[in-house]
Amino acid sequence: MEFLQHWKLRERPFEATWDTRFFYAGPDHEEALSRLLYLVSETTMNLGLLTGEIGSGKTLTRAVFAGRIDTARFQVITIENSGFPLEELLGSILRRLDPQVHLNGEGKLARCELFEQHVRKLNARGRHLVLVLDEAQDMTPETIHELRWLTNYNGGGAALLTLILVGQPELRAMIVGDAAINQRVSLRFHLKPLRADDMEHYLRHRLRTSGHATGNLFAPAAALEIYNTTRGIPREVNRLAKLALEQAWLTEAPKVEAAAVAAVVRDLERHQALPS
């Protein structure tokens, strides 16, 4: 029997994509969302920082965040990979603000001035710009230092934009190491892994989102085995759950038991131990 038919699913539940339908609103991720939305709603807090380990769900969280913002009041621009000089980042941002913009070799100053003009036009129309720079740990210290220029724009005492930096834990130290930008950070939040008591809920949520009636396809012991192996890192949970679901399907099991998870873990460990 075919995989989806066997499990009574519409689609595969643990694929490596950041489809916002699969966002699991656990306590930590929901708090991150609430804080980011508060940061933006105030429009006066300049800069926010969201960090987390690799695979902790930062990208999915910021995608859900962008989807929840009132587009009548805010314009959100997200740069997926921010490890470029400010001049190049500004070029990308300006093209998103105005697809017809002509950038004929302008340097930082000219691009900053053009950026300010566009931000003021947005503000005059009653909209606040939200800039989200992902993978911000890849920025150089020089670029991070220059970001302070973007937080200097204001109109009538109100900030014209909110900047949100998203990145891996080392980003926090990079920010702290630059007093000029560190003083502008109004919100800091570090995403933690899923907790052990989240695991069954998380697996059930993804399975139900994929079409299963109840989402109860992982035995409690299997969910615990997944947690103990992955320590709750969502990307690792998804990888292991996907393989365990396939392992149980191959044996035509009605449910994923701990033995199926353990078999997958042994196989992964065996291949990782092979000489390169």
CATH label of the domain that carries residue 138: 3.40.50.300
Bridge partner residues of 128 (DSSP): 74
Please check whether residue 14 lies inside any domain of the structure.
Answer: no
pLDDT in tens, 174-220: 999 999 999 999 999 999 999 999 999 999 999 999 999 999 999 99
Contacts of 128 (CB under 8 A, 6+ apart): 40, 43, 73, 74, 75, 122, 160, 161, 162
Number of domains, the chain: 2
Please check whether residue 70 lies inside any domain of the structure.
Answer: yes
Closest to 264 (Cα-Cα) out of 232, 200, 216, 245: 245
Q: Give me the pLDDT at residue 253, please.
A: 93
Same domain, 87 and 161: yes
**Where a domain ends, among 134, 162, 191?**
191
Dihedral angle computed from the Cα positions of residues 197, 202, 208 and 213, in that order, rounded to the nearest 10 degrees: -20
Answer yes or no: is pLDDT of 160 > 80.
yes
Please check whether residue 21 lies inside any domain of the structure.
Answer: no
Same domain, 233 and 135: no
What is the residue range of 99's domain?
Answer: 27-191
Please check whether residue 22 lies inside any domain of the structure.
Answer: no
Same domain, 140 and 175: yes
Dihedral angle computed from the Cα positions of residues 30, 34, 40 and 46, in that order, rounded to the nearest 10 degrees: -90
Same domain, 90 and 167: yes
Same domain, 173 and 78: yes
pLDDT in tens, 61-93: 999 999 999 999 999 999 999 999 999 999 999
Please check whether residue 67 lies inside any domain of the structure.
Answer: yes
Confidence of residue 18 (pLDDT cuts 50, 70, 90): confident
Q: What is the mean pLDDT of the chain?
A: 92
Same domain, 142 and 229: no
Same domain, 202 and 180: no
Burial of 235 (0-12, 13-18, 19+ CB in 10 A): middle
The model's pTM: 0.91
Closest to 257 (Cα-Cα) out of 267, 247, 266: 247
Same domain, 167 and 223: no
Same domain, 241 and 183: no
Answer yes or no: is pLDDT of 1 > 80.
no
**Where a domain ends, among 159, 191, 223?**
191
Same domain, 203 and 182: no
CATH, residue 246: 1.10.8
Please check whether residue 83 lies inside any domain of the structure.
Answer: yes
Q: Give me the pLDDT at residue 157, please.
A: 67
**Rounded distance between C-alpha atoms, residue 133 and residue 184, angstroms:** 16
CB atoms within 10 A of CB 56: 25
| Mean pLDDT in residue range 157-182 | 93
Same domain, 116 and 65: yes
Please check whether residue 232 lies inside any domain of the structure.
Answer: yes
Q: Give me the pLDDT at residue 156, please.
A: 66
Same domain, 259 and 152: no
Range of weakest confidence among 47-61, 135-149, 151-165, 176-190: 151-165
Higher pLDDT pick, 276 / 95:
95
pLDDT in tens, 128-144: 999 999 999 999 999 99
**Where a domain ends, among 191, 222, 251?**
191
Please check whether residue 18 lies inside any domain of the structure.
Answer: no
